């Protein structure tokens, strides 16, 4: 199972990102879950959303505490909350500009988003979503 945690600020599209990722995998024949986590915060407050992708039905129904991948839509969140908390090894907890483990992780910037993962995980994720 691939688990993705998405961090953003209210209104940036973290929930939509999880839903689109899940839809893409679903149309590729995978089983998926996508759901948000936010309270009564106002627009601009930190939010999380989650996506699970698997080849078999997903029976787990809880937040993702140990993600395989992180997508961070606003890099200012690195200084506000511990977005790398719980990432599964070999992902480590690295952002090239803020952490010392930069050789462990690969940062891919796409349209302002940051994917923090090991090179091996990034390759596996790409193959898993494509089917």
| Inter-residue contact 50 to 19 (CB < 8 Å) | no
Name the residue ranges covered by the structural domains of the chain: 2-130
The pair of three-digit structure tokens given for residue 74, joined into one six-digit string: 């606003």
* 100 band by pLDDT with thresholds 50, 70 and 90: very low
49-87 pLDDT tens trace: 999 999 999 999 899 988 888 888 887 887 788 777 777
Contact 92, 103 (CB under 8 A): no
Our measurement of the distance from residue 45's CA atom to the centroid of its chain's CA atoms, rounded to an integer in Å, reads: 18
Task: Say if domain 2-130 classifies as CATH 3.30.1950.10.
Answer: no
Does the bond joining 90 to the residue before it have cis omega, within 30 degrees of 0?
yes
For the stretch 106-128, pLDDT in tens is 444 444 445 555 555 555 655 65
Question: What does the pLDDT average to over 33-57?
Answer: 87
């Amino acid at each position: 199972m691939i688990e993705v945690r998405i961090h953003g600020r209210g209104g940036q599209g973290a929930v939509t990102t999880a839903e689109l990722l899940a839809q893409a995998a679903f149309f590729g024949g995978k089983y998926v879950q996508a759901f948000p986590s936010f309270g009564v915060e106002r627009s601009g407050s930190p939010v999380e959303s989650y996506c699970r992708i698997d080849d078999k039905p997903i029976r787990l129904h809880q937040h993702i505490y140990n993600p395989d991948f992180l997508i961070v839509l606003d890099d200012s969140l690195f200084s506000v909350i511990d977005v790398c908390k719980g990432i599964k090894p070999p992902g480590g907890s690295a952002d090239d500009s803020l952490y010392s483990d930069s050789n462990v992780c690969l940062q891919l910037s796409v349209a302002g988003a940051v994917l923090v993962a090991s090179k091996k995980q990034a390759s596996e994720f790409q193959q898993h979503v494509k089917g």
